[in-house]
Structure 1
Amino acid sequence: MFNTVIGIVFITVLSALLSHFMEKYTKENINQYVTSLNAQISNSIDRYVDDMQKVLMILSEDANLPVIADKKFVGTYEGYSAYNHFYDNIRSLIFFKGYKSLSVILFDRQEILTTDLNDGQDFKYIRNALSMNMYREITDSDQSMVLLPGFSLLPGKDNNTLFSQAIKLWDNLPGEKDFMVLSADKNLFSDFLNGVNNQAFDDILITTADGKVIFSLNSDVSTYDEFSGKDIGRLAEFDTLHFNGSSYYANVKNSATTGWYVVSLINQNKIDKQINDSKIIIMLTGIIVMVILILAVHLFVTRSTRDLKRLSKTMKNIEKSNYKIRSDINRNDEIGDLSQSFNAMVKNVLENQVLRNEAEIKSLQDQINPHFLYNTLDAISSLAIKRDHVRINEMVEKLADFYRYNMNIASHNVVEIGTEIQHVKNYLEIIQVRYGNRLSVIYEIDEGVSEYLTIRFTLQPVVENAIKHAFNEMSGAYFIRISAYETEDSIVLEVSDNGIGIEEPKLRQIMQSIDGGGSLPHAEPRGGVGLKNVNMRFKLLFGGNYGIAIESVKGNGTKVVITSRKMK
Structure 2
Amino acid sequence: MGSALSLAGIGCADRSGGTPCQSCPRAGEQARLAEIPGEQARLAEIRALRYQINPHFLFNCLNSLATLVNRRDVSEAEGMIGEFSAFLRYGLAADSVAEVELADEVDMQLRYLTLARRRFAHLMTVTIDVDDDVRHARLPALILQPLVENAIKHGVAMTSASVLLSIRAFRSDANMLVVRIEDDAWSGSPSDEPATLIGLGIGLCNVTERLLARFGNAGRLVARTLQRGGFRSEFTVPLVSS
TM-score by length of 1: 0.34
Cα shift at 1:414: 1.0
Alpha-carbon distance in structure 2 between the residues aligned to 1:530 and 1:481:
18
> Counterpart of 2:110 in structure 1: which amino acid?
K
Cα shift at 1:351: 4.6
Cα shift at 1:399: 0.8
Pick closer, same or farther for the CA change 1:457–1:503 going to 2, 3 Å: farther
Match of 1:395 in 2: 80
User: Which of 453, 456, 470 is matched with 2:141 structurally?
Assistant: 456
User: Which of 115, 139, 157 is matched with 1:430 structurally?
Assistant: 115
> Counterpart of 2:179 in structure 1: which amino acid?
L
Alpha-carbon distance in structure 1 between the residues aligned to 2:185 and 2:49:
28
> Counterpart of 1:539 in structure 2: which amino acid?
L
Question: Superposition pairs for residues 107-256 of structure 1, below 5 Å?
Answer: none
Match of 2:17 in 1: none
Alpha-carbon distance in structure 2 between the residues aligned to 1:383 and 1:418:
35
Matched, 1:561 2:240: no
Structure whose CA Rg is larger: 1
More helix by share: 1
| 1:211-236 Cα deviation digits (max 9, x unpaired) | xxxxxxxxxxxxxxxxxxxxxxxxxx
> Counterpart of 1:452 in structure 2: which amino acid?
A
Contact 2:125 2:165 in 1 (8 A): yes
User: Which of 218, 223, 227 is matched with 1:545 structurally?
Assistant: 218
Contact 1:472 1:500 in 2 (8 A): no
Q: Percent identity?
A: 20
> Counterpart of 1:536 in structure 2: which amino acid?
E
> Counterpart of 2:134 in structure 1: which amino acid?
V
Match of 1:485 in 2: 170
Cα shift at 1:413: 2.6
- Which structure carries more relative contact order (alpha carbon 8 Å, separation 6+)? 2
User: Which of 126, 129, 136 is matched with 1:441 structurally?
Assistant: 126
Give secondary structure in 2 for the equivalent of 1:508.
coil
Pick closer, same or farther for the CA change 1:475–1:323 going to 2, 3 Å: closer
| 1:249-291 Cα deviation digits (max 9, x unpaired) | xxxxxxxxxxxxxxxxxxxxxxxxxxxxxxxxxxxxxxxxxxx
Give secondary structure in 2 for the equivalent of 1:543.
helix
> Counterpart of 1:368 in structure 2: which amino acid?
L
| 1:511-551 Cα deviation digits (max 9, x unpaired) | x3xxxxxx535xxxxxx212111112112211313221112
Contact 1:550 1:559 in 2 (8 A): yes
Match of 1:469 in 2: 154
- Once superposed, what is the RMSD of the aligned Cα atoms? 2.8
TM-score by length of 2: 0.74
Matched, 1:357 2:47: yes
Match of 2:68 in 1: 379
Match of 2:191 in 1: 503
Name the count of aligned residue pairs: 207
Match of 2:16 in 1: none
Give secondary structure in 2 for the equivalent of 1:499.
coil
> Counterpart of 2:215 in structure 1: which amino acid?
F
Pick closer, same or farther for the CA change 1:424–1:399 going to 2, 3 Å: same
Give secondary structure in 1 for the equivalent of 2:179.
strand
> Runs of 5+ in structure 2 lacking a partner?
1-31
Contact 2:165 2:184 in 1 (8 A): yes
Alpha-carbon distance in structure 2 between the residues aligned to 1:354 and 1:556:
39
Give secondary structure in 2 for the equivalent of 1:424.
helix
User: Which of 194, 198, 208 is matched with 1:535 structurally?
Assistant: 208
Alpha-carbon distance in structure 2 between the residues aligned to 1:483 and 1:379:
30
Cα shift at 1:368: 1.9
> Counterpart of 2:53 in structure 1: which amino acid?
S
Cα shift at 1:322: 10
Alpha-carbon distance in structure 1 between the residues aligned to 2:33 and 2:128:
48
Pick closer, same or farther for the CA change 1:446–1:356 going to 2, 3 Å: same
Give secondary structure in 2 for the equivalent of 1:539.
helix
